Structure 1
Amino acid sequence: MRQLPEADRDAIRLAQDPKFARWLEQITATGGCAHPIHLSGSTMTLDGATGEILHHYDTRNEPGERLLVRCRNRRATVCPACSRLHAGDTYHLVRAGLLGGKNIPATVRHRPRLFVTLTAPSFGPVHRSGELCRPRRDSGTCEHGRPLGCGAVHAPDAPAVGQPLCVDCYDYTAHVLWHAHASQLWDRFVIDVRRRLASAVGLVQSHFAKHARLSFARVAEHQKRAAVHVHAVVRLDGPNGPDEEPPYWATPDLLIDAVCASARRVLVRTPYSAAVGELALRWGAQVDARPLRTDGDGPDDDAVAAYVAKYVTKGASETGAGLDHALSAWGDIESAPVSGHVRTLIRTCWRLGGLPEYAPLRLRDWAHTLGYRGHILTKSRAYSTTYAALRAERAHHLGHVDVPDTVTERHWRYVGSGHTPGAALIAAGIADDLAQLREVIREERSAARGEADR
């Protein structure tokens, strides 16, 4: 008789447990999280005036004497269920800054707003998808004897796309150091945009904050060549943020000019190294700044918010531009499931990370992301709401909120994480069911809006 797979046997064991129904409630409450956190402890809510116990909860009555909570990992490759929740939060965060809502006035939709894309510079020619990869009239070769061109037509998912034409010509050192300084380059870019706006209208640069505020939300995306580029929503407000109208001189064209000029001008210099020298790092030549208009002439606001949310949930391994976990030793690099191009970038991170002048960059700690150590999504304080506020709002709707004039005592400790094989199987099924339910609800709402517009 054929034996059942381990996951099936474990699922049957769980289903026969007397507390299975309660365990299933916990799994459903986490949305089918793939790697839930296991907590043990208790919480007690007391009346602030009398000390009377209003509510008491203890995990001793739970299956396995533990409570399961979401891992909240944003990467779809790690936890599809939590990544969908994170993508939804990101969508509402970005959309609120475009159209209002979540305590942001609807008037922001009439402000000067741009959708900006900044790219990494070239570190060497790579294979591209399209009609012809890199056509050349001659059949020249580089100093290492490799062809300078490629006449093939690569499919977008072809393994060659994003790989260097010559690995010896490719500047892996500059690539890694650019990643390590990308966040600093963005900070200088934002400062320079403010300065250029002030100069364009005759203001003293230090007085810009008294007249206007530059608000933004930006997301980092890994390209096929394993280099990060940035998508950002940029908005001009009054000096007090979204609650105040910008000055009369604030126009989309003025903002576009400032963004494009700053992208060409700003640079960051690396620390001097006897092995590398000093590099001047800049944005790439390709800069795109498109105005977002309420008349429909330009990118759609909802589409922009959805576009940003999509990239927030992508892990490095999903894009083929790194790993989703840190490396602890040089030997881990050889066994990593990555392309040769990415492996060389990781090796470069590890080697440069051993130089004392680059110690502050923590290149070995961030070798799995090819030296990039910035957050996937960052925003200015006044752009819109926060992830914390969105989670608090969701908890309030679910009834998970403390009652005023009460005192809550909590005692929790971490006791584990993850699922057994059978539990993982059940959790994945619940996550899929919830995803299908959300899709049905989304389609019904879209159909209802379509009927209302007729």
Structure 2
Amino acid sequence: MTHAHDRALPRAVRQAMPMARDVLVEVAKQHGVCIRPIPLKRLDVVTGKTEIIDVPCGATLDSKCPPCAKRNKQLRKAQCREGWHLDAEPAITPDEPNEEQRWLVEFRADYQAQRDAAEKAGDDTTELDAIISGLDEEINAAGMRGNVLGRTAAKRSRSTRRRQDAPDLPKRKMTPTTLGRTFQGTDGKIYRPSLFVTLTLPSYGKVRDGAPIDPDTYDYRRAARDALHFSKLVDRFVQNLRRVAGYDVQYFASVEPQKRLAPHLHMAIRGTLPRAEIKQIAAATYHQVWWPQADEVIFDGDHMPIWQDGTGYLNPATGEVLPTWDQALDALDEDAEPLHVIRFGEQVDVQGVLAGTPDADQCIRYLSKYFTKSLGDALDGGQAQQQHAARMLDALRYEPCSPTCPNWLRYGIQPKDAKPGMHPGRCRGKAHKPEHLGYAGRRVLVSRKWSNKTLAEHKQDRRTWVLEALGQADEPTDPHRYVWRPVPAGDANVPPLAVRLLRSVHERQRWRAHLRALEAKGDGQELSATEDMGRAA
């Protein structure tokens, strides 16, 4: 009867009705349920029971999964809050090596001995070198810091003398602390202030409403290169900050887009320094990019280098092998100038912040404002800004983003680890994608001793709180009890996505009802706080 009734409705009315699946997705979003769950098969080795478990996709962007992005944002805010005003030194001790890590190092030692013996006997070591190189990669992937043998290749050195156009930096004697200074008020209370700093890039031309007033004079090349190397500039700022502060400064920072599409930095800093010193550090911070030249185009259009197996890329006119990345770097003499020098702009905002104040909460909200947005989301849809973004992407198209970027062929250099099929302007690197606008670094930057916890540990804290509130103690289980396997596409045992979303929505409704009941009894925190806990669990 219902279907007949629907057919009786005018076509325009039926087309205006929302799709049932779209409604379900919106309901899932409202309840904080992942809309792209990943089904995994879990085998209980004790009971032999197998079941399909939906795991949240873990997306960090609203464009992919708003509930997961919001959950990650809540976790990051908690991480920022817990580490900002610590009053005790974080204690970080290295984990004990596991069996896999020990085995890899022992295996590496055996092959190293074989290689040394072969080299001493004058035998070919090519095959052994390849095996050892692969083992080194496995060792790094097994969760160990550093290299077994330390630096295995000679380091190219450049003069460490500061540029003449950069002011000198003061230096204090380092003290073994991460906490910074404290101050005693007239009431005898001890205060531990911290800082909230915002750093921007310089101007590339006058802008209005996020778009250049005169696009022809706007320095797009400099804007593109600044975006590509912004993460290195931030690293240099932290090094200079610690040098001047005289203690192991800890920070929580986020890289966000300005309306003009340039990246800028918000940084929560534990401890305090005079505002004048922070501005002096920013003015004295720079990063030099010691790369081969990328200003003179050598190959373009149909006149492109040719790949030859076993040799590499050749000049199509002469047949000469193009210099490799390492050879191009070696060719930079002592009088060479850096390809690019990146600096911060003059706008530096510094605020003092005390723990537990409205200002601290407001700074955390401001710092996390764009956690769930990509740099490209800064576009407001206006035609002028859309054209500005298109010109920026055009400037980025042929800029080398890394030593392995195919764009180096355009400038007569073989990219590092060159392979067939490379073509300038077709780099698949993150920096060249429209949503990143040249910035390929991490969006959230957290120092190692910030909160004394990893993000996974913060997540476990939230999960434990929610489960205890629901009366479901999260009992420790044997880590070897369960075996997780991916579920092949089209597996008949996996219910349709709609069914899985409905189940998850029902479970979330049950959780929320229980939390509301706790609040009504006065046993829980404010409902807004409990719901935030639930989203982060």
Deviation at 1:115, TM superposition (A): 0.2
The code of the aligned residue for 1:383 comes to: W
Matched residue, 1:223: 258
Question: Which of 449, 461, 465 is the aligned partner of 1:393?
Answer: 461
Deviation at 1:259, TM superposition (A): 2.0
Secondary structure (helix, strand or coil) at the match of 1:310 reads coil
Matched residue, 2:482: 409
CA contact (8 A) 2:231 2:441 kept: yes
Say whether residues 1:260 and 2:271 are aligned partners.
Answer: no
Deviation at 1:346, TM superposition (A): 1.6
Q: Using the alignment, how far apart are the partners of 1:94 and 1:307 within structure 2?
A: 12
Deviation at 1:341, TM superposition (A): 1.1
Deviation at 1:412, TM superposition (A): 0.9
Q: Where do 1:361-400 residues align within 5 Å?
A: 364-368=429-433, 369-384=436-451, 385-397=453-465, 398=467
Matched residue, 1:304: 363
Say whether residues 1:33 and 2:34 are aligned partners.
Answer: yes
Say whether residues 1:90 and 2:79 are aligned partners.
Answer: no
Q: Using the alignment, how far apart are the partners of 1:352 and 1:287 within structure 2?
A: 28
Instruction: Pick closer, same or farther for the CA change 1:408–1:374 going to 2, 3 Å.
Output: same
CA contact (8 A) 2:44 2:481 kept: yes
Q: Using the alignment, how far apart are the partners of 2:88 and 2:462 within structure 1?
A: 12
CA contact (8 A) 1:349 1:364 kept: no
Matched residue, 1:141: none
Q: Using the alignment, how far apart are the partners of 1:443 and 1:78 within structure 2?
A: 30
Matched residue, 1:239: none
Q: Using the alignment, how far apart are the partners of 2:195 and 2:22 within structure 1?
A: 51
CA contact (8 A) 2:60 2:69 kept: yes
Instruction: Pick closer, same or farther for the CA change 1:294–1:228 going to 2, 3 Å.
Output: same
Q: Where do 1:169-180 residues align within 5 Å?
A: 169-180=217-228
**Relative CO higher for 1 or 2, CA cutoff 8 Å, sep ≥ 6?**
1
Instruction: Pick closer, same or farther for the CA change 1:309–1:427 going to 2, 3 Å.
Output: farther
CA contact (8 A) 1:113 1:235 kept: yes
Deviations 1:286-328 (A, max 9, x none): 00111113595xx711222222222212233432299xxxxxx
Instruction: Pick closer, same or farther for the CA change 1:313–1:167 going to 2, 3 Å.
Output: same
Matched residue, 2:324: none
Instruction: Pick closer, same or farther for the CA change 1:320–1:261 going to 2, 3 Å.
Output: same
Question: Which of 365, 372, 386 is the aligned partner of 1:313?
Answer: 372
Deviation at 1:99, TM superposition (A): 4.4
Question: Which of 375, 391, 396 is the aligned partner of 1:344?
Answer: 391
Q: Using the alignment, how far apart are the partners of 1:124 and 1:434 within structure 2?
A: 55
Q: Using the alignment, how far apart are the partners of 1:340 and 1:194 within structure 2?
A: 41
Give the total of aligned pairs: 339
Q: Where do 1:49-448 residues align within 5 Å?
A: 53=47, 57-59=49-51, 66-100=52-86, 110-127=191-208, 161-198=209-246, 212-236=247-271, 252-254=272-274, 256-270=275-289, 271-275=291-295, 278-294=339-355, 300-320=359-379, 339-353=386-400, 354-356=406-408, 364-368=429-433, 369-384=436-451, 385-397=453-465, 398=467, 403=476, 407-415=480-488
Q: Using the alignment, how far apart are the partners of 2:444 and 2:81 within structure 1?
A: 14
Q: Using the alignment, how far apart are the partners of 1:420 and 1:321 within structure 2?
A: 37
Secondary structure (helix, strand or coil) at the match of 2:370 reads helix
Secondary structure (helix, strand or coil) at the match of 2:39 reads strand
Matched residue, 1:44: 44
CA contact (8 A) 1:92 1:305 kept: no
Q: Using the alignment, how far apart are the partners of 1:419 and 1:313 within structure 2?
A: 29
CA contact (8 A) 1:11 1:422 kept: no
CA contact (8 A) 1:71 1:82 kept: yes
Instruction: Pick closer, same or farther for the CA change 1:9–1:266 going to 2, 3 Å.
Output: closer
Instruction: Pick closer, same or farther for the CA change 1:422–1:402 going to 2, 3 Å.
Output: closer
Instruction: Pick closer, same or farther for the CA change 1:434–1:218 going to 2, 3 Å.
Output: farther
CA contact (8 A) 2:206 2:212 kept: yes
Deviation at 1:196, TM superposition (A): 2.0
Q: Using the alignment, how far apart are the partners of 1:435 and 1:167 within structure 2?
A: 54
Task: State the TM-score, normalizing by the size of structure 1.
Answer: 0.62
Unaligned 5+ runs, structure 1: 15-23, 47-52, 60-65, 128-160, 199-211, 237-251, 323-337, 447-454
Structure showing greater Rg: 2
Deviation at 1:439, TM superposition (A): 13
Identity across matched positions, percent: 23
The code of the aligned residue for 1:285 comes to: E
Deviation at 1:187, TM superposition (A): 0.8
What is the alpha-carbon root mean square deviation over aligned residues?
Answer: 4.5
Q: Using the alignment, how far apart are the partners of 1:373 and 1:400 within structure 2?
A: 41
Q: Using the alignment, how far apart are the partners of 2:502 and 2:369 within structure 1?
A: 26
CA contact (8 A) 1:350 1:367 kept: yes
Q: Using the alignment, how far apart are the partners of 2:287 and 2:354 within structure 1?
A: 33
Instruction: Pick closer, same or farther for the CA change 1:286–1:430 going to 2, 3 Å.
Output: farther
Q: Using the alignment, how far apart are the partners of 1:91 and 1:78 within structure 2?
A: 20
CA contact (8 A) 2:29 2:35 kept: no
Task: State the TM-score, normalizing by the size of structure 2.
Answer: 0.53
Q: Using the alignment, how far apart are the partners of 1:423 and 1:183 within structure 2?
A: 43
CA contact (8 A) 1:10 1:420 kept: no
Deviation at 1:179, TM superposition (A): 1.1
